[in-house]
Amino acid sequence: MRAVIQRVSEASVTIEGVKRAEIGSGLLILLGIEDADSDEDITWISKKIANMRIFNDYDGVMNESLLDRNEDAIVVSQFTLHASTKKGNRPSYIKAAKPDVAIPLYEKFVRQLENDLGKKVGTGEFGADMKVALINDGPVTILIDSKNRC
């Protein structure tokens, strides 16, 4: 499971002209799922995101987490995070899970993050053509891969 987390001062997801989710300060999380992902990956990556200290404290040091700040989050499915670009110029998405595997894992991840944060999390819609808008704060953008925990 891969996640790109972006610290934002605002973010939104719009589908067919309708805003599906909108937050002020918090995290925009792009989530890529592969067939090998499990409940263990979901738990690990959710806890990592909830507790990652990437928000500034009073001294301007990145020392506070999403939980510490009680900030909001949006999770957007992003199969392209598993793109392979080794050969040619057209990415291969063979490692990305198909919808029958990915959708339940995506929904489990959203529920796990909501549980870890103790609040509702905004989402996009799996498989939809989404317009994602954000103002990256910092900028702070971090890649987390549950298969690379060391």
- Residue ranges and CATH numbers for the domains of the chain are 2-145 (3.50.80.10)
User: Which helix H or strand E contains 32, and what residues bound it?
Assistant: strand 26-32
On the 0-12 / 13-18 / 19+ scale of CB atoms within 10 A, 80 is exposed
CA distance 41 to 49: 12
Cβ pair 123, 110 in contact under 8 A: yes
Condensed to tens digits (0 to 9), the pLDDT of residues 82-114 reads 988 888 899 989 889 999 999 999 999 999 999
CA distance 75 to 77: 7
Predicted local distance difference test score (pLDDT) of residue 102: 95
To the query of whether residue 79 is one of the catalytic residues in this protein, the response is yes
Average pLDDT over residues 125-142: 95
Pairing mode, if any, of strands 72-77 and 26-32?
A: parallel
CA distance 122 to 75: 6
Q: pTM, whole model, 2 decimals?
A: 0.94
Tokens of 42: 């979901």
Condensed to tens digits (0 to 9), the pLDDT of residues 1-36 reads 999 999 999 999 999 999 999 999 999 999 999 999
Q: What type of residue sits at position 31?
A: L
Predicted local distance difference test score (pLDDT) of residue 103: 95
Set 6, 55, 79, 123: catalytic member: 79
Condensed to tens digits (0 to 9), the pLDDT of residues 38-92 reads 999 999 999 999 999 999 999 999 999 999 999 999 999 999 899 888 888 999 8
Predicted local distance difference test score (pLDDT) of residue 117: 98
Cβ pair 79, 33 in contact under 8 A: yes
Set 6, 78, 112, 123: catalytic member: 78
Predicted local distance difference test score (pLDDT) of residue 4: 98
Set 6, 43, 55, 80: catalytic member: 80
Closest CA to 15 of 101, 100, 130: 130
Predicted local distance difference test score (pLDDT) of residue 49: 98
